[in-house]
Structure 1
Amino acid sequence: MNSIKIPNELTQLLKENHVQVQLSVPQLVEKILGRNEGTLTATGAVRVSTGKYTGRSPQDKFIVMEESSKDKIAWGPSNQPISEDAFTILYQKVLDYLKQQPELFVFKGFAGADKKSRLPIQVVNEYAWHNLFVHQLFIRPSEDELLTHDAGFTVISAPNFKADPAVDGTNSETFIIISFERRIVLIGGTEYAGEMKKSIFSVMNYLLPENNIFSMHCSANVGLEGDVALFFGLSGTGKTTLSADPNRRLIGDDEHGWSSNGVFNIEGGCYAKCINLTREKEPQIFDAIRFGTVLENVVINQESRIPDYDDGTLTENTRAAYPIDAIDNIILPSIAGHPNTIVFLTADAFGVLPPIAKLTKEQAMYHFLSGYTSKLAGTERGVTSPEATFSTCFGAPFLPLPATRYAEMLGEKILEHNANVFLVNTGWTGGEYGVGNRMKLAYTRAMVQAALEGELNQVETVKDEFFGLNIPLHIAGVPDDVLRPNQTWADPEAYKQKAKELAAKFRENFKKFTAVSTEIEEKGGPIA
C-alpha cells in the first residue's frame, strides 16, 4: 500500500534526542523494569497493569470527518464523527505533551504478511511496555526492510494524556481517533494496549477493501495438503480452541485479508486470553508465555513471581501478547492459498440451532451479517435468561465501511473459489441454558474435522423447519440425534417456542440492513 508523508510536526518530534527507535526486545525489557512499568515473572514474561481500563473503550472511538472519506464511512456508534478542527487541536496538544516526556519509543513495522498489500506502520509510545507490545503484535521488518521503511500510517499513544471532553469534543478523558487523510491514529487516556492493535485493524478494514481485498476478523489455519480454513466467531464460541489443531498449521489467530493470491495474516503476533489458562487446555499459548511476552493484568505471586491465571481479580480479560513464532505449529510467512472451508461459530444458549449445518451462499451472507451468539444468564448482572447478541460480520466495532461491503466480498469469494461454509453451534443442546447441556467439545471437533476433510460436501441432509439450515444426518463420532436439535429436547413444544423466539430475534436484527438484497433475507434467513 502506498505511504504518504507524515505531518511536519510529527517529523520534527521524531528527530528529537529523547526518541528511541526500534529497540530490541531485551532493550525494551530493561527499559520497562528500569522505569517501573512492569515486573519480570518466573516465566520470563513481563507483567504489566493497564490501570482502570482493562478492555477497549468503544464509546471513545472516533473517525475524523474528512472530505475524502466522509461518504464512505458507516457513521454510527462504532464510527463516531469528530471534526477536523477538533482533531487538529487535540493532535497538537498530544505532540506538545510528548515533547516534554523524558523518553519516547518508536516501532517501525508492517500490517499484512502479503508484501504486495502490506501497510508500513510506525507506532510512537509514551510507555516502553506499549512499544514491546506492538513489537510483538505487528510484523517486524528485516534490517534491509527497515532501511527503506516509509510509514503509511502512524499510531501515537499517550496514555497519560487525558482529554477534556468539554473542550476537546470527546466523550471522556479517553480517545481513539483515526484520521484517514493524515494517516494518523491518536490514542490517549487509556493504558489498554489492545486499542493500538484494533485501531490498525480498523484502518486495514478501510484500506484493504479499497484494494479489492476482503478483510476479516477470524482465525485461519492450513492442513498438511495445503487446504485452508477460516474460523469466524465472537468471544466464547471456541474460535481459538478449534483453530488450534495439532494436525494443521496456524496462519493467524485474529485478523486476516483474502486477496486474489489467497489468505494472509494482518499481524505478526497473538493477543491471547489467559484467564484460567493451563498447559493441558491450551499448551501452545501456555508455552508461548516466556521472555519477551507481555502479560496484561495477570495476578502474580509477589515472592515467586509465578502467574496465577485463575485469578480474575483485576479483570477476566487477562491477556498475553507474544510473537507468532513463539508457537511451533505455524506457517511462515503467514500466507496461504484460498480457503476451502469457512466456519462460522456461535454459542447458542437457546439450544435450537443445529450443531453443524452447511450453508448456501445466501445463508452464509445472512449469518455473516448477523454475527450471532448469546450472552448467558448469570454472566452479567441483570441477565436472567439468554440474550441474543449480534455483532455484524463478527467484528462490528472495527468496520469503518458499511457491513454490506464486507458481506458482498464474502459472497464473491465463496462463488469464485467454491468455498464450503458451515455454521457450527458450540452452545447448548437438549434445552436452553440452564436446562440442556453444553455441546461436547469432542463432538464439535469431530464435526469440524469432517467439514475440513470434505466429508460433509455430499452427505444426506435434512432441512431445519425454522431456520432452513441443511443438517447432516450422519457424522462419524457424533450420535445421530445430537445432530438434530428437535430430537434432543424432552419437550417438543418448548423447543418450537424457543426456535420461533430466536428466529424472530434474527429477523428483528436484520431490519437494520436496509441496503441488502431481499434475496439474502428471503433465501438466507429463518423460514418459520
Structure 2
Amino acid sequence: MEAQGLYNLGDIRWNLSTAQLVEEIIRNKEGWLSHHGAIVVHTGKHTGRAPRDKFIVAYPDHDDIWWGPINSPISPEYFARLHQKFATFFQLRPIYVQDVWIGNHPAYRLPVRIITEKAWHSLFARNLFIREEQTTGPHSNPEFTLIHAPSFRANPVEDGTRSETVIAIDFVRRLVLIGGTAYAGEIKKAMFTVMNYLLPQHHVLPMHCSANVGPQGDVALFFGLSGTGKTTLSSDPERPLIGDDEHGWGEDGIFNFEGGCYAKTIRLNAQLEPLIWSAVHRFGTVLENVILNPDSRLVDFESDTITENTRAAYPLEFIPHALKEGRGGHPQHIFFLSADAFGVLPPLARLTPEQALFFFLTGYTAKLAGTETGLGREPQATFSACFGAPFLPLHPTVYGRMLKEKIQQHGTQVWLINTGWTGGPYGVGTRIPLPYTRAMVHAVLSHGLDSVPYHQDPIFGLWVPETCPGVPRELLQPRQTWSDPQAYDQQARTLAEQFRANFEAITETSLTVALNHREG
C-alpha cells in the first residue's frame, strides 16, 4: 500500500471472495440481503454520477485533453494535496482491495488496483471488472490505482474542487481519487475514461456500447445513452453476450473491457427481459437504490421512490451463454439507439458512412419531462458525443475518425433505431413496443432487410425500409402515425435544426483544438 501513498492502515482485506464480501457487508451494516440473495445498498445523496465534480490533472505537456464543461482541469499541486488527505483519511481504517484487470485482450489488458472504504464497493469492483479466481494475491505491479472513499469530504477552498465531492484522474501518476459519493458507477466510468485516453494511442477505438455475437460469428454492437435499451437488446438468448457496456475495437476485432454488467432495473420485466431478471436475483448481485420490503425481503423494481436510476451490478457469468473470453471479430452491424421522446425519428433506418459519423458525433436521445429537476413539460433533446461524452478525455472527432475508418475498412453496416415514441411526442404518442424493436434487430441480423425497398426520409435524409418482418408497415413511417402530419413536419424540422446546431458546435471546437495544438 505504500506504493499508493497509504500508511498506518488498519486491516487490509485483499481480494476477498464474493461470499466473504457479502458477510462483511452484512456485518458492517452497509446493506441488506434480499430474498433471492442479492445485496441491496443505498448510495445516499448521490444516486447518479456527479459530472461537475470530475477533474483531470492538467500538465503543461498534456495538450490533447478536451478541456471544457466535460473535462475540468485541476493542478498537480491540488491533486497532490487531495492524495495526502486521502492517505490521512485511511489511517487506522480497514480497507478493501480488489486487484482486477480491464480489457479482455492480452495486448491491451490493464492491471488495476481498486482500494475502497466500503465492502460493497469492493464487491461491485469484483463483479464489474475482470478477475481470475485462481489468483488470490496482489498484482505485482498494477498500472493504475483507484482509491474510493465515500465518507471523505473535500474542501473546495483548499482542494480546488467545486464541492465536497471529487473525482480526479491523474494520467501521469496513474491514479484516480473518488471521494464524497457512494454511487458505484463513478468507479467503472472513471476507469472507462482511463481506457478512452490510453487505447487510441494503440490505434484501438474505445466504445460505449454493448456487443453480442451470432451463431456464424457475426458481431453486433449497440450504442446508446442510458435508458435507450443497449443492455436489453444485446441480452438475446440466441446470441451470446460479449459485453454489456464498454468495448475496444482493434486490429483483430472487438473485446470487452469488463467482466460484468451494470444494468438499469427500473420497471424490470421478467417476460420482456428474462436474462437480466434472472441475473439480478442471484446471490452476489449488488442492487443500488431499489426498494426492499423489510419483512419479505422482496425487491420492488417498479418503485422510483429513491431514484429512477436504480441499478444492478452482476458478473457476466450470470448471463447464460455469455462469452467468457469476452472477444469477437469485426462487427458486421452497428446499432445507434435513440429514445426519441419527440416521436419523429423512424423506428429503423440504414445509415451511410457519412451519416454514421454524424449520428455518432451527435449521440442523440431525449430526456422526458419530470425525470430531472428543471425540465419543463416538453421533452428535452440530449446530445452526448460518441454516446458517452462525459467519459471522453480526447475530442470527440478523434473517436469519430477512428470509427469511420473502421466501418469503411470492414464494411460494417450502421443502423439507427428509435426506441422512443411514435404517433406523437411523449404524452401524446406511445412508446414503440419492445417486441417490435427486437423484430427489427433480428431482421437486420438475419439479412431479412437485404432485398426490401428503401426510401429516403425527406427531413433527416435517412434510408427507411418499406417493410420489416414482424413489424406493422405503418409503424416504419413515423409521419403516418401522427394524427396531424403538419405537426409532425414542424416537430421534425425543429429536431433537425437542433441536430445541425449541435454538430456545428462540435466541429467548431474541433477546429479550435487543432489550431491550439498547432500553435502550441
Query: TM-score, normalised on structure 1?
Result: 0.92
Indicate yes or no: 2:408 matched with 1:415. yes
Residue 361 of structure 2: aligned partner: 369
Indicate yes or no: 2:168 matched with 1:177. yes
Residue 44 of structure 2: aligned partner: 51
Aligned amino acid, residue 376 of structure 1: L
How far is 1:329 from its partner? 2.7
Instruction: Check whether the contact 1:213–1:258 (CA below 8 A) recurs between aligned residues.
Output: yes
Indicate yes or no: 2:214 matched with 1:238. no
Instruction: Check whether the contact 1:463–1:471 (CA below 8 A) recurs between aligned residues.
Output: yes
Where does 1:69-468 land on structure 2 (aligned, <5 Å)?
A: 70-101=62-93, 103-143=94-134, 149-288=140-279, 289-380=281-372, 382-468=375-461
Distance in structure 2 (CA, Å) of the matches to 1:148 and 1:236: 36
Q: Which deviates further from its counterpart, 55-64 or 494-503?
A: 494-503
Closer/same/farther in 2, CA of residues 478 and 199 from structure 1, 3 Å limit = same
How far is 1:517 from its partner? 9.4
Distance in structure 1 (CA, Å) of the matches to 2:303 and 2:337: 27
Distance in structure 2 (CA, Å) of the matches to 1:37 and 1:434: 40
Distance in structure 1 (CA, Å) of the matches to 2:465 and 2:325: 36
How far is 1:280 from its partner? 2.3
Distance in structure 2 (CA, Å) of the matches to 1:300 and 1:492: 46
Percentage identity across paired residues of the two chains: 54
How far is 1:253 from its partner? 1.1
Distance in structure 1 (CA, Å) of the matches to 2:458 and 2:133: 56
SS at match of 1:514: helix
How far is 1:192 from its partner? 1.1
How far is 1:9 from its partner? 5.2
Distance in structure 2 (CA, Å) of the matches to 1:223 and 1:400: 33
How far is 1:311 from its partner? 2.4
How far is 1:390 from its partner? 0.7
Closer/same/farther in 2, CA of residues 95 and 274 from structure 1, 3 Å limit = same
Instruction: Check whether the contact 2:235–2:276 (CA below 8 A) recurs between aligned residues.
Output: no
Closer/same/farther in 2, CA of residues 38 and 19 from structure 1, 3 Å limit = same
Instruction: Check whether the contact 2:224–2:363 (CA below 8 A) recurs between aligned residues.
Output: yes
RMSD: 1.9
Aligned amino acid, residue 291 of structure 1: F
Distance in structure 1 (CA, Å) of the matches to 2:509 and 2:211: 27
Residue 11 of structure 2: aligned partner: 18
How far is 1:345 from its partner? 0.8
Closer/same/farther in 2, CA of residues 298 and 429 from structure 1, 3 Å limit = closer
How far is 1:159 from its partner? 1.1
Extract unaligned runs of 5+ from structure 1. Answer: 1-5, 519-528
Distance in structure 2 (CA, Å) of the matches to 1:317 and 1:134: 19
Distance in structure 2 (CA, Å) of the matches to 1:491 and 1:64: 53
How far is 1:459 from its partner? 3.1
Distance in structure 1 (CA, Å) of the matches to 2:486 and 2:139: 67
Indicate yes or no: 2:488 matched with 1:495. yes
Residue 464 of structure 2: aligned partner: 471
SS at match of 1:511: helix
Closer/same/farther in 2, CA of residues 146 and 406 from structure 1, 3 Å limit = farther
Closer/same/farther in 2, CA of residues 145 and 292 from structure 1, 3 Å limit = closer
How far is 1:320 from its partner? 1.4
SS at match of 1:230: strand
Extract unaligned runs of 5+ from structure 2. Answer: 512-520
Residue 25 of structure 2: aligned partner: 32
